[in-house]
Structure 1
């Protein structure tokens, strides 16, 4: 909704406009703020800027180091902010959430990949607290084994929350995900999947073989 439309609907609204330079929005303030956040995140891993207010952070090495030197082996010793994580696949009982999250984060018999995710969740929680303390900015985050999944869930719970995607929850996450929500499928290709194959969700897409998709869209795209 444009500003003039908003004023017609709500005459008392106060609109805030970004600074303008040379007839265009001046985003230097936001870039500077983003740089402050990235500087903190980069203390734990390699950062890749995705947009003015989004960044991918590779925590693989930091998570491996934590798992080797100081693994989360006691529910009582878990960093408090990490216990507020939203972990896909855990029971939805709100009254037991913190207890369940603590147990998941220090599960001693989990596979190696989930242990790395648990360490990653703790590190991200620590970083988010640092960002808040040092810049007064809040952050939401997605923690997963790849950028695509992390991006998908980073905005699932807001504001100032984080979501973890264990490997066992990936299929359920994608099964009902609208195809247009998937990166690179939001444009013409996504529309083609809907029109040509009747695909509405990623779960629908998984019912087609690679050969069928290559036959329809070519070897590279399929």
Structure 2
């Protein structure tokens, strides 16, 4: 229940960028995706505070995730870790233009067998929505560190553009237009696609 503005559990714990040369936020972000500061000048987290957050929040989170993976692998020959995220469709600081609705990341095919990636990509292609595989978002630390196909753990990251499931404002989010109220009817098509993806992943892992 910790905000990613406190510590981002999907970043390399060493602080190394997952996207060298591209704009991104850090392990303990000091600004938003828009580049707005999260702290008053001079009050950013110190190295010792970052260490404290890593030990208090990051390490237990990943230990729990590893324990669940170990539990499931004790029952199944292979499992699928599906890591879900969402993001605004337009963020000039992070990428040019408008992001596709579906952004599937498999660390350039390293975090899962090609057959699962191909099955999910086929679902996306049939969805009538824009999509990409290993585009701007290839998978964060969770996908990259836990995805070990050779050990029976297949990891996928799905980054959803907000407009796929909500009436996303065209302008920057502000208190008067964000968050957008959830509309089940509007979100129904993307929910159906995501349900199909999860069912397909389960069936693939159980074959």
For normalisation by structure 1, the TM-score amounts to 0.25
**Structure having greater relative contact order (Cα 8 Å, sep ≥ 6):** 2
Q: Highest CA radius of gyration, 1 or 2?
A: 1
Higher helix share: 1
